[in-house]
Amino acid sequence: MDIKCIALDLDQTTLDGAGRLSPGNRRALEYAISRGVHIVIASGRAFASLPQDVLSVPGIEYAITSNGAAVYHIPTGKRLHSYALKSRSVQEILRLTAGERVVYEAFVDGRAYADAAYVADPLGHGAAPQSIPYIQRTRRPESDIAAFIRAHIHHLDSLDLVVPDQETKTHVWGLLKESVPDIYITSSVRQLIEISHRDAGKHSGVRYVAELLDLSPAQIAAFGDGDNDADMLAFVGCGIAVANATPTCLAAADHVTVHHDQDGVAHGIYEILHI
């Protein structure tokens, strides 16, 4: 393999269980960069929510954020490319979900906003306990998040619906898929339905960066763990899932590395760079 670029999902892939970049994974990233390999972040997070642990690694140039809705040049913070949700799609999402047991997160200009009650008590709204510090650190609370969404309806990178259980998730997902044609729907964790423009997706962001760097998909590797990584792993020449990945992600991968808490990304990088 002639790998020139590596795209990395963050949570439960490159980051450990505490949401940190381990010394072993950091050394592997630095080694790849020293070999002239482009390291690209590919995350469902908003740009302002990206961890300093990763941003501080010298040489990481690009970040695909909000599941491909926006691509940034990290050193300058400049947004290079984006797909905003269509206003009619947002209106229909709000209409369809108004009576459902969901709370909203909105991503605008690289920042995440959420219902104030959810930020105050994530666990009570279905979030996993380990997610609480991240949610409360990165979400700006809004007392009327639906009104906030309507006020920013022309500038939404993406929306998340936080659901309390699988039954609600399946029901709401079906409603959206049937009635809102201009959206891309995915999920990184059990309590989220993540919605962006139909042309988004991490694979779309990787395609944009590949064109920017004049690379073919065959020259790109990608690591992931979630359903929202599956399209990306299928698009690149070498898709690698960590051992803790979802069945959908594992099915899309060409290779499986070890668990994310065992430096799976480092193991995978050294393998594809022939060490």
DSSP structure class, residue 256: E
Q: Which residues contact residue 70 at a Cβ distance below 8 angstroms, ignoring those fewer than 6 apart?
A: 47, 64, 79, 81, 82, 83, 110, 157
Domains along the sequence of the chain with CATH: 5-82+201-272 (3.40.50.1000), 87-197 (3.30.1240.10)
> Which of 264, 275, 236, 265 shows the shortest CA–CA distance to 252?
236
Average pLDDT, stretch 49-71?
A: 96
> Which of 34, 259, 84 shows the shortest CA–CA distance to 184?
84
pLDDT value of position 275:
54
Count of beta carbons in the 10 Å neighbourhood of residue 147: 10
Residues, the chain: 275
pLDDT category at 129 given cuts 50, 70, 90 is confident
The 10s digit of each residue's pLDDT in 223-253 is 999 999 999 999 999 999 999 999 999 999 9
- Burial status of residue 143 (CB atoms within 10 A of its CB: 0-12, 13-18, 19 or more): exposed
> What is the rounded distance in angstroms from the CA atom of residue 238 to the CA atom of residue 260?
18
Sign of the Cα pseudo-torsion (2, 8, 9, 14, in order): positive
* Token pair recorded at residue 165: 């259980």
What Å distances lie between residue 245 and 20, 107, 156, 222, CA to CA? 18, 25, 29, 13
Average pLDDT, stretch 10-32?
A: 96
pLDDT category at 113 given cuts 50, 70, 90 is very high
Sign of the Cα pseudo-torsion (66, 197, 109, 187, in order): negative
The 10s digit of each residue's pLDDT in 150-178 is 999 999 999 999 999 999 999 999 999 99
Mean pLDDT computed over every residue of the chain: 96
pLDDT category at 126 given cuts 50, 70, 90 is confident
Contact indicator for 226, 253 with CB cutoff of 8 Å? no
Contact indicator for 31, 269 with CB cutoff of 8 Å? yes
Residue type at position 247? P
